[in-house]
């Protein structure tokens, strides 16, 4: 919590003062100006967006298509996204009023929280979790409630542990699987158990499925596709990770009409519409990007195997992450905190990883290593980490 004491600082809202700058960004400021660093840090693909996707946007710009779109997003993009969800997971959403195209899942998360939360409403989430989860809840006036998860359970969450946290103030459960930072997935049965708890207690489930396409052990289970939960679910998805489109800033929320209408009200006054060229690129991605996704996922899988084996071999126990592009090894054998480990590794060996503590209390004792980087860099990073671990082992 940052409470500013300066005269101007006192004018900053309590809600803003309550949140800290992202632990990821703070750490990456240290990187500025350092030469020869191998980054396993920022969570984004090392690929450029496939050219045919970028080209579609370039052509639209050449034709002067630079105007606002409908607040909800280009109809064709909404139609294609709904069709995609139907083909992939068998769920039906209406392009006219059950989907909103957003500025990435980032905006969709913020809108979802602001649309449903009253002051002090509680949102249950896992610890560790993606850095924006608690921040968006706090900024919307709500209260994040943590459910600890651990390597012992492969960082999946048990429905009974979530149920134990439900109070009269609980408005929603926020899940994000495959997970950033752990790479964990939720087995279908565990999602079914969670669905039963949400239904019984009439609680909304916000399911951030931005990594849905990045799974390495069978297909992803879409939460909204489970029997009887669609009416209580806000499903968030996007183009950033699967299509290597982080900088385009385009994602979506699908949910029952009343929720989408509420989210659209906020979106239309604050954002108007997602960037027009980015929406054009997303249309192209859905039409012709499937082969690219499959190729990139195959490649991440090769890198995943190398890094997980490598980390275990050098004495940093790492459970097998089955989704996203993160490995989350324990650094406890070194006796260092995750911040000390990350800072030391950067200064002594020029390898950037993110301290697990940036993702919540239960992230302490771990670091996040993003393996969306070349195999050569992964192999070199592992050599440097081995040296560091040998030097610091308790
Ligand atoms: N959700 C998770 C779990 C993420 O890891 C990220 C980005 O790292 C986001 C949401 C934000 O994605 P977008 O680029 O669509 O805003």
Domain locations in the chain? 7-49+291-392, 67-289
Residue 57 has pLDDT above 90, yes or no: yes
Count of C-beta atoms within a 10 Å radius of residue 131: 22
What pLDDT is recorded for position 4?
61
Q: According to the CATH classification, is domain 7-49+291-392 in 3.90.1150.10? A: yes
At residue 368, the 3 state secondary structure works out as strand
Into which CATH architecture does domain 67-289 fall?
3-Layer(aba) Sandwich (3.40)
Q: What would the pLDDT profile of 326-354 be if each residue is shown by its tens digit?
A: 999 999 999 999 999 999 999 999 999 99
What pLDDT is recorded for position 34?
85
Nearest atom in ligand 1 to the alpha carbon of residue 249 is 14
**Euclidean distance between CA atoms 251 and 100, whole angstroms:** 9
**Which residues have any ligand 1 atom within 6 Å of their CB?**
43, 104-106, 130, 176, 180, 208, 210, 238, 240, 246, 251
Read off the DSSP letter of residue 231: G
The arithmetic mean of pLDDT across residues 323-328, rounded, is 97
Q: Which helix (H) or strand (E) holds 114?
A: helix 104-116
Write down the mean pLDDT value for the chain.
95
The arithmetic mean of pLDDT across residues 146-158, rounded, is 95
Residue 94 has pLDDT above 80, yes or no: yes
- Give this prediction's pTM: 0.96
Nearest atom in ligand 1 to the alpha carbon of residue 246 is 14
The arithmetic mean of pLDDT across residues 368-384, rounded, is 96
Q: Do domains 7-49+291-392 and 67-289 have the same CATH topology?
A: no
CA distances from 265 to 23, 102, 114, 271, 284 (A): 31, 12, 11, 10, 27
What pLDDT is recorded for position 278?
98
Ligand 1: centre distance to CA 105 (Å) = 6
């Amino acid at each position: 919590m940052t409470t500013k004491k300066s005269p101007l600082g006192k004018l900053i809202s309590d809600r803003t003062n309550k949140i800290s700058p992202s632990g990821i960004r703070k750490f990456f400021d240290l990187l500025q100006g350092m030469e020869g660093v191998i980054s396993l840090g920022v969570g984004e693909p090392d690929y450029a967006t496939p050219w045919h996707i970028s080209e579609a946007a370039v052509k639209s710009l050449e034709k002067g298509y630079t105007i606002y779109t409908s607040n909800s997003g280009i109809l064709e993009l909404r139609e294609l996204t709904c069709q995609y969800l139907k083909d992939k997971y068998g769920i039906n959403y209406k392009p006219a009023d059950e989907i909103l195209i957003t500025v990435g899942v980032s905006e969709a998360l913020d809108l979802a929280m602001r649309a449903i939360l009253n002051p002090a409403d509680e949102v249950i989430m896992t610890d560790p979790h993606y850095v924006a989860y608690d921040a968006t809840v706090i900024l919307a006036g709500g209260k994040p409630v943590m459910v600890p998860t651990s390597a012992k359970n492969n960082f999946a969450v048990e429905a009974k542990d979530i149920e134990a946290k439900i109070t009269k103030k609980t408005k929603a459960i926020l899940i994000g699987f495959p997970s950033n930072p752990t790479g964990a997935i939720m087995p279908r049965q565990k999602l079914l158990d969670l669905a039963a708890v949400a239904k019984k207690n009439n609680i909304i489930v916000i399911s951030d499925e931005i990594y849905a396409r990045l799974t390495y052990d069978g297909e992803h289970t879409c939460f909204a596709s489970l029997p009887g939960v669609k009416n209580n679910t806000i499903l968030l998805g996007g183009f950033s990770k699967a299509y290597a489109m982080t900088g385009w800033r385009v994602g979506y929320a699908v949910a029952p009409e009343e929720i989408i209408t509420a989210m659209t009200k906020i979106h239309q006054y604050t954002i108007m519409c997602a960037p027009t060229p980015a929406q054009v690129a997303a249309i192209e991605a859905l039409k012709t990007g499937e082969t690219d996704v499959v190729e990139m996922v195959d490649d991440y899988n090769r890198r995943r195997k190398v890094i997980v084996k490598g980390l275990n071999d050098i004495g940093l126990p790492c459970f097998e992450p089955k989704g996203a592009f993160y490995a989350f090894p324990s650094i406890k054998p070194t006796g260092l905190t995750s911040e000390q480990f990350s800072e030391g590794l950067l200064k002594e060996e020029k390898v950037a990883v993110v301290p697990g503590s940036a993702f919540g209390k239960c992230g302490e004792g771990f670091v996040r290593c993003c393996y969306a980087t070349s195999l050569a860099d992964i192999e070199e990073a592992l050599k440097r980490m081995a040296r560091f671990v040998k030097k610091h082992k308790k």
